Amino acid sequence: MSMGLDILYFICVLLVPVISIITGYIMKTRPPKEINNTVGYRTKRSMAGKEAWDFANVYCGRNTFLFGIVSLVISAIIYFLLMRGSFSNMTAMIIILVVQITALVIVMAVPTELELKKRFGK
Protein backbone atom coordinates (compact mmCIF):
# COMPACT_ATOMS: atom_id res chain seq x y z
CA MET A 1 0.00 0.00 0.00
CA SER A 2 1.27 3.46 -0.80
CA MET A 3 2.46 5.96 1.78
CA GLY A 4 -0.08 8.51 0.48
CA LEU A 5 -2.96 6.14 1.18
CA ASP A 6 -1.60 5.41 4.66
CA ILE A 7 -1.56 9.14 5.40
CA LEU A 8 -5.11 9.53 4.05
CA TYR A 9 -6.37 6.72 6.32
CA PHE A 10 -4.62 8.27 9.31
CA ILE A 11 -6.19 11.65 8.55
CA CYS A 12 -9.61 9.96 8.36
CA VAL A 13 -9.03 8.41 11.79
CA LEU A 14 -8.27 11.86 13.22
CA LEU A 15 -11.29 13.60 11.67
CA VAL A 16 -13.85 12.55 14.30
CA PRO A 17 -11.66 13.66 17.25
CA VAL A 18 -10.73 16.96 15.59
CA ILE A 19 -14.37 17.71 14.70
CA SER A 20 -15.34 16.76 18.28
CA ILE A 21 -12.77 19.17 19.72
CA ILE A 22 -13.95 22.03 17.49
CA THR A 23 -17.67 21.35 17.99
CA GLY A 24 -17.30 20.82 21.74
CA TYR A 25 -15.32 24.04 22.13
CA ILE A 26 -17.95 26.02 20.23
CA MET A 27 -20.82 24.45 22.17
CA LYS A 28 -19.25 25.07 25.57
CA THR A 29 -18.08 28.62 24.86
CA ARG A 30 -20.84 29.88 22.54
CA PRO A 31 -23.92 27.67 22.97
CA PRO A 32 -27.04 28.47 20.94
CA LYS A 33 -28.91 31.27 22.70
CA GLU A 34 -32.42 30.21 21.76
CA ILE A 35 -34.08 26.80 21.84
CA ASN A 36 -34.36 25.63 18.23
CA ASN A 37 -34.73 22.52 16.09
CA THR A 38 -31.58 23.09 14.04
CA VAL A 39 -28.46 23.73 16.15
CA GLY A 40 -27.38 22.54 19.58
CA TYR A 41 -28.04 19.58 21.84
CA ARG A 42 -31.67 18.86 20.98
CA THR A 43 -33.63 16.34 23.03
CA LYS A 44 -36.99 16.50 24.75
CA ARG A 45 -35.31 17.17 28.11
CA SER A 46 -32.89 19.81 26.83
CA MET A 47 -35.65 21.67 25.01
CA ALA A 48 -38.02 21.67 28.00
CA GLY A 49 -36.93 25.15 29.08
CA LYS A 50 -34.28 27.84 28.66
CA GLU A 51 -32.32 26.84 31.77
CA ALA A 52 -32.20 23.17 30.70
CA TRP A 53 -31.25 24.22 27.15
CA ASP A 54 -28.36 26.38 28.32
CA PHE A 55 -27.11 23.75 30.74
CA ALA A 56 -27.36 20.85 28.26
CA ASN A 57 -25.46 22.62 25.50
CA VAL A 58 -22.56 23.68 27.74
CA TYR A 59 -22.42 20.31 29.52
CA CYS A 60 -22.57 18.33 26.28
CA GLY A 61 -20.02 20.69 24.69
CA ARG A 62 -17.58 20.09 27.51
CA ASN A 63 -17.99 16.32 27.24
CA THR A 64 -17.60 16.43 23.47
CA PHE A 65 -14.46 18.58 23.74
CA LEU A 66 -12.87 16.25 26.30
CA PHE A 67 -13.85 13.19 24.25
CA GLY A 68 -12.14 14.72 21.22
CA ILE A 69 -8.88 15.27 23.05
CA VAL A 70 -8.80 11.79 24.58
CA SER A 71 -9.97 10.16 21.35
CA LEU A 72 -7.31 11.94 19.32
CA VAL A 73 -4.51 10.39 21.35
CA ILE A 74 -6.07 6.94 21.78
CA SER A 75 -7.14 6.67 18.12
CA ALA A 76 -3.68 7.56 16.85
CA ILE A 77 -2.06 4.95 19.10
CA ILE A 78 -4.59 2.24 18.21
CA TYR A 79 -4.28 3.01 14.50
CA PHE A 80 -0.51 2.53 14.57
CA LEU A 81 -0.85 -0.67 16.60
CA LEU A 82 -3.52 -2.11 14.29
CA MET A 83 -1.72 -1.23 11.08
CA ARG A 84 1.33 -3.18 12.29
CA GLY A 85 -0.82 -6.23 13.00
CA SER A 86 -2.76 -8.46 10.66
CA PHE A 87 -5.33 -5.76 9.85
CA SER A 88 -5.12 -3.76 6.66
CA ASN A 89 -4.90 -0.01 7.15
CA MET A 90 -8.39 0.39 5.70
CA THR A 91 -9.82 -2.17 8.13
CA ALA A 92 -8.07 -0.46 11.04
CA MET A 93 -9.48 2.90 9.94
CA ILE A 94 -13.03 1.55 9.65
CA ILE A 95 -12.89 -0.16 13.05
CA ILE A 96 -11.59 2.99 14.73
CA LEU A 97 -14.17 5.24 13.03
CA VAL A 98 -17.08 3.01 14.05
CA VAL A 99 -15.84 2.85 17.65
CA GLN A 100 -15.22 6.63 17.74
CA ILE A 101 -18.67 7.53 16.46
CA THR A 102 -20.41 5.08 18.78
CA ALA A 103 -18.41 6.32 21.77
CA LEU A 104 -19.09 9.96 20.84
CA VAL A 105 -22.84 9.43 20.80
CA ILE A 106 -22.66 7.70 24.19
CA VAL A 107 -20.36 10.36 25.68
CA MET A 108 -22.59 13.15 24.40
CA ALA A 109 -26.04 11.78 25.18
CA VAL A 110 -25.92 9.49 28.20
CA PRO A 111 -24.20 11.77 30.76
CA THR A 112 -26.07 14.83 29.50
CA GLU A 113 -29.47 13.14 29.76
CA LEU A 114 -28.68 11.73 33.20
CA GLU A 115 -27.56 15.14 34.45
CA LEU A 116 -30.62 16.84 32.93
CA LYS A 117 -32.88 14.30 34.65
CA LYS A 118 -31.08 14.84 37.96
CA ARG A 119 -31.21 18.65 37.78
CA PHE A 120 -34.51 19.30 36.00
CA GLY A 121 -36.53 16.13 36.60
CA LYS A 122 -38.51 13.94 34.21
Tens digit of pLDDT per residue, the chain (122 long)? 567 777 888 888 899 999 999 999 999 999 999 999 999 999 999 999 999 999 999 999 999 999 999 999 998 888 888 777 666 777 778 888 899 999 999 988 999 999 999 999 86
C-alpha distances in Å from residue 106, one per residue of 3, 8, 90: 34, 27, 24
Asked whether residue 33 is domain-assigned, the answer is: no
CA–CA dist 87, 104 (Å, integer): 24
pTM to 2 decimal places: 0.86
The residue among 64, 57, 51, 55 whose CA lies nearest residue 24 is: 64
For the chain, how many structural domains are there in total?
1
Asked whether residue 60 is domain-assigned, the answer is: yes
Q: What domain range is 13 assigned to?
A: 3-18+43-120
Asked whether residue 116 is domain-assigned, the answer is: yes
CA–CA dist 85, 78 (Å, integer): 11
Asked whether residue 88 is domain-assigned, the answer is: yes
Asked whether residue 51 is domain-assigned, the answer is: yes
Asked whether residue 34 is domain-assigned, the answer is: no
Asked whether residue 95 is domain-assigned, the answer is: yes
